[in-house]
Amino acid sequence: MIDIRFLRENPEAVRENIRKKFQDAKLPLVDEVLALDEESRKNKLRADTLRANRNALSKQIGGLMAQGKREEAEAVKAQVAADARELQLCEEKEAEYAEKIQKIMMTIPNIIDPTVPVGRDDSENVEVERFGEPVVPDFEIPYHTEIMERFNGIDLDAARRVAGNGFYYLMGDIARLHSAVISYARDFMIDRGFTYCVPPFMIRSDVVTGVMSFAEMDAMMYKIEGEDLYLIGTSEHSMIGKFIDTILPEEDLPLTLTSYSPCFRKEKGAHGIEERGVYRIHQFEKQEMIVVCRPEESKMWYDRLWKNTVDLFRSLDIPVRTLECCSGDLADLKVKSVDVEAWSPRQQKYFEVGSCSNLGDAQARRLKIRVKGKGGKYLAHTLNNTVVAPPRMLIAFLENNLNADGSVNIPAALRPYMGGKEKLIPVK
């Protein structure tokens, strides 16, 4: 969410930003919020005037009574009462204006970084860099669920009977591999100086609207019926929410945290062949990283965060690339974002396994996350990035470490988490 003062002083810059995001339907909102802002400020000025008059007149009443001027004092009392009634109406209007302005401001997209490529959707995202050599083996790579089934490692039919589509049972070596990847990712981030955290898996509505746009909320979040609680779609939601309505000492920054959680997502609109299996599901587990920092440090942290993910995947012998998200593919709160994509030998293309985002002060403004420095208080910047998100990450792992005989290599970095195993041997 942008600052109302910025919009007031730079309305054309806000309009141009909306155009870059191909959200022209939101252009009238700029004039609408400016008109409301003007009325709100006029109303506030009148309220301030009435308060000042009330204080001045109240002082007169005592003096007039002391002088025996009862009639004049009663007239002043009547004026004070009339002003009080008008002030009450002004205060009610003030709350109404504030609510209307807030609602509109939360739908106007954040100002994107000047370096973000302009494009309509994810088809216009721009490849930045590749890490590792993509390999296509001389044997056929089965679909990921077929690989898992050779290890008796997955049961989708039972999951459908229990919970419906979009769920799974992982078992045996595949389940152990899933947990090993999460544990390895946790220790990988701890070794890089991040503090490990397990957050709440449910959050209140004020946190939901603080960390994401209304469109994201509708597409992702599961509501707990009868309670003001939502299941988290990622631990970033809880982790940023941890600092709601707080004032952080500047000397405590940056806050660098890595968090584990299950994630729950509606996945509205998911379709296509790659939605089969465990590629796009309603429940999964994830290791996340978040940073709360000073504004001048957010660019540096953005680059460090996505590099952490690249380094982790390369340590597991998985080729990856980074893809700069274009303007139309950025969620409304994001300033800049890069996807990390892993190589799929079966598809002979890359697919998304993580996303790193700089949200500037948008989340901090909504959640009132402030920093107290020598020069006063200011809003923090927040960033987040996926470390790993099995089971999608397992797809990349299994495909890139599969051998012709159906066995799967365990890279050295992961062996301590797999009981020292160097290979997984299929049972069928």
> Catalytic: 265?
yes
Q: Which one of the listed residues 265, 346, 365, 366 is annotated catalytic?
A: 265
Q: Which one of the listed residues 72, 216, 250, 352 is annotated catalytic?
A: 352
> Catalytic: 280?
yes
Sole residue written with tokens 């506030």: 44
* 313 and 272 Cβ atoms separated by less than 8 Å: no
Q: How far apart are CA 335 and CA 365, in angstroms?
A: 14
**96: number of CA atoms within 13 Å, CB side?**
9
Q: Which one of the listed residues 150, 186, 370, 392 is annotated catalytic?
A: 392
* 9 and 34 Cβ atoms separated by less than 8 Å: no
- For residue 396, give every residue at least 6 positions away whose Cβ sits within 8 Å of its Cβ, in sequence order, or none: 313, 318, 342, 343, 344, 351, 353
Q: Which one of the listed residues 46, 192, 204, 280 is annotated catalytic?
A: 280
The single-letter code of the amino acid at 220 is M
> Catalytic: 298?
no
- For residue 353, give every residue at least 6 positions away whose Cβ sits within 8 Å of its Cβ, in sequence order, or none: 309, 313, 320, 340, 341, 342, 386, 388, 389, 392, 393, 396
> Catalytic: 179?
no
> What's the token pair of residue 407?
């066995």
Q: Which one of the listed residues 355, 357, 366, 399 is annotated catalytic?
A: 355
Q: How far apart are CA 308 and CA 312, in angstroms?
A: 6
The single-letter code of the amino acid at 252 is D
With residue 409 as reference, give the H or E element that holds it: strand 408-409
Q: How far apart are CA 112 and CA 385, in angstroms?
A: 18
DSSP per-residue letters across 281-341: -SEEEEEEEEEEE-GGGHHHHHHHHHHHHHHHHHHTT--EEEEEPPGGGS-TT-SEEEEEE
**344: number of CA atoms within 13 Å, CB side?**
19
Quick one: how many helices (H) and strands (E) in the chain? 13, 18
Q: How far apart are CA 373 and CA 378, in angstroms?
A: 8
> Catalytic: 41?
no
Q: Checking DSSP bridges between strand 230-231 and strand 202-203, what pairing results, if any?
A: antiparallel
> What's the token pair of residue 273?
């062949």
DSSP per-residue letters across 158-185: HHHHHH-TT--EE-HHHHHHHHHHHHHH
Residues serving a catalytic function are 265, 280, 352, 355, 392
